[in-house]
Amino acid sequence: MSDTILEAPATGDQPVVFDNPVDEVTAALKERFTEFVADDTRPGYGGLVVSADKIVEVAEALRDDLGFNYLSSVTGVDLIEEDKMEVVYHAYSIDKGGDAMVLKVQVDRDNPVVPSLTPTYPGADFQEREAWDLLGIRFEGHPDLRRILTWDGFHGHPLRKDWKEPFFEEEAKPFGSRWPAGEVFRAEEKNVYGKNVQYPEGWAPSGAEYEAETDSYAGITYSRESTPGLKTEKVTVNMGPQHPSTHGVFRMALTLDGETIVGLKPVMGYLHRNHEKIGERNTFIQNIPYTDRLDYISSMSNNLGYVLGVEKLMEAEVPERAEWIRILMAELTRISNHLWALGFLLNDMGALQTPMIYYYIERELILDLFEATAGSRMMCNYMRFGGVAYDLPDQVRDQPVMDFLHDLVYDRLPRVLHQGDELVTGNEIVRARGIGYGYLSAEDAIAFSAAGPLLRASGVPYDVRRANPYSYYEHLDFDVAVRYNGDIYDRYLIRIDEMQQSLRILEQVLPHLKATEGASIIGSKPQYALRMPNAGEAYGRVENPKGELGYYMTAKRRSANPERYHVRAPSFINLTALEKMCMGHKVADVVAILGSIDIVLGEVDR
């Protein structure tokens, strides 16, 4: 990227040269909003701290004047020791690429009110609701601020540092009860049956009446107005939760005019287990197997995003062989995910199990490699800070591992993609049900913070591997797959394109694996009792099969556990655009539109 020259502030005489667009934007914001923005001066932290009453104005300038038009992540943080709540925003430039422009707002913990950025960046919608639900940060001006991951009658905000659940033991692991010194017990033994629930203060369970479903429909307009010329009336119905059509325990509250959708509100949280609260109590290394269970189809990639974030905090180096193995596993995961996604999408279109079985055969070969390498097919727990847990095995399916990989990359996977293309791509039913349905424009995809195939099928060639490279991706030759019609059919095609590009990457990786056989796979002695050498924050992000997966973490010096651990989950954020994609379509189209997004509820709900 060429250097950018920005006019010097009034205090200097020479122009400032910037190597990074973030430096340019930071200087511009500090000059324009001198009294309202300031550097985050905490050791190990970065970005700009913005006055709450100016955050909307700063965000609009960032988007409209400075080109940072993609708000990727919104994170709430409980700064209990400072008696404050913080909201951290990560914004990117689709055109320029590069690092995030990080903005932060800090408000009083007792009355945490922050203006909503949803009118500026619609993709903030669900993320602000999540911060309200789990941390109690109220976003003034949000169009539909209500709980999203816990149920409507939930008491308290569980990610607050002073919130305790019924079986609470200690703030951080390892718990004292787990030490093998004769003191081991089950936490439930300390709780008398019937005392393992919490009620709001003053709430009596006997005789209480609570309409738990009321808030689920709060954002939907009820009407009995009929369409002129037709004997119909608008009605609100539930669709889901039922598997496999809603891809798990996911519900949509639909407002219909006849069979036409005029309103849709996703209802989620049935699978929520407060992954982030667990993550803040776990030690750093204990979190790796928990990341497996987010997008449980993409375990290897989940691991990678997390360890990249921790490695930034540690300033760890990774050996060359480990980097090539990481890319091997990540790209095989992408292919595995997309094969599964296409099988389910065709199932959602009415093709039942046949296409899924065709795609499933080669996916099984990929899982065979994962099992032989990591010991597990889906919950791999494989990446480690500074490398990977194990080297590649000697053999897979009674073949030398390199022979197995060569056969997989050059023969088996290309063959199934060609076969699927011949059988499905030109199918008249797939085309009839896919072309023109679930349309999402490029402008809306960016505005709604869509990521991955959903974003690129709308004509936006943005891929974290290219825009902000990690590992060795900058040394690899591949194209960012992009389609331009933004409908179900293009979201089918984009996944085929991406698998072809993954094969292209793997063809370049195999020679490096051969050349580095026997080399180190971890940068230092495994650190199972890891303590952070310095305080600070880090954001690790990867281009996961479903889009940008990001982990925002903070840590205190010498801490063994994250102070804040937040997951930017693509399945969750991609659902923000679902209503827009479904408006005007029929009930029969909803399942196919949802399937074209490709969600996993373990990642949606966390």
**Which tens digit of pLDDT belongs to each residue from 286-325?**
999 999 999 899 999 999 999 999 999 988 889 999 999 9
122 token code pair: 């619609």
Confidence at residue 431, expressed as pLDDT on a 0 to 100 scale: 87
Reply yes or no on whether the pLDDT at 206 is more than 70. Answer: no
Per the DSSP assignment, residues forming a β-bridge with 522 are 387
Residue of 444, 453, 482 whose CA lies nearest to 577: 444
- Give the model's pLDDT for residue 17: 43
Number of other residues whose CB lies within 10 A of the CB of residue 271:
17
In this predicted structure, which of 17-31, 191-205, 544-558, 567-581 has the lowest mean pLDDT?
Answer: 191-205
Residue 1, pLDDT > 50, answer no
Residue range 585-593: average pLDDT?
Answer: 89
- pLDDT on residue 489: 92
Note the pLDDT tens digit of each residue in 146-177.
899 988 878 889 999 998 887 777 888 877 77
- Residue 556: enclosing H or E segment and its boundaries? none
Its pTM stands at 0.87
* Domain covering 22-140 in this structure, CATH number: 3.30.460.80
Using one digit for the tens of pLDDT, what is the confidence trace for 213-240?
555 555 555 555 555 665 667 888 888 7
Which has more confidence, 3 or 29?
Answer: 29
Residue closest to 323 by CA, chosen among 508, 582, 563: 508
Q: Say yes or no to pLDDT of 34 above 70.
A: yes
Query: What are 258-270's pLDDT values in tens digits?
Result: 888 888 889 998 8
E strands in 386-491: 387-388, 395-396, 399-400
Q: Name 102's Cβ contacts closer than 8 Å, sequence gap at least 6.
A: 46, 47, 48, 88, 89, 90, 91, 539
For the chain, give the percent of residues with pLDDT over 90.
52
Residues 6+ apart with CB under 8 A from 564: 75, 77, 78, 280, 552, 553, 554
pLDDT mean across residues, the chain: 85
Higher model confidence: residue 205 or residue 24?
24
pLDDT in tens, 481-530: 999 999 999 999 999 999 999 999 999 999 999 999 888 888 776 667 78
What does the pLDDT read at residue 210?
Answer: 47
Q: 402 with 514: CB under 8 angstroms?
A: yes
C-alpha angle with apex 513: 504 to 471, nearest 5 degrees?
A: 70
Indicate the length of the chain as a whole number: 606
Can you give the pLDDT at residue 164? 86
DSSP letter string, 49-74? EE-GGGHHHHHHHHHHTS---EEEEE
Q: In this structure, are residues 95 and 25 in contact, taking their beta carbons and an 8 Å threshold?
A: no
Residue 449 to residue 354: CA distance in whole angstroms: 34
Every domain of the chain and the residues it spans: 22-140, 164-176+187-201, 218-267, 285-587
Quote the tokens at residue 104. Answer: 């932060």
CB 545 within 8 A of CB 342: no
Mean pLDDT on 566-573:
94
Closest CA to 238 of 248, 228, 224, 250: 250
Band (114; pLDDT cuts 50, 70, 90): very high
CATH code of the domain made up of 285-587: 1.10.645.10
In the predicted structure, residue 183 carries a pLDDT above the cut 80: no
Q: Report in angstroms the alpha-carbon separations of 2 from 17, 64, 598.
A: 10, 22, 37
Residue 108 predicted with pLDDT over 90: yes
Structure tokens at 355: 């296409």
- Position 60 pLDDT exceeds 50: yes
Which pLDDT band, with edges at 50, 70 and 90, does 381 fall under? very high
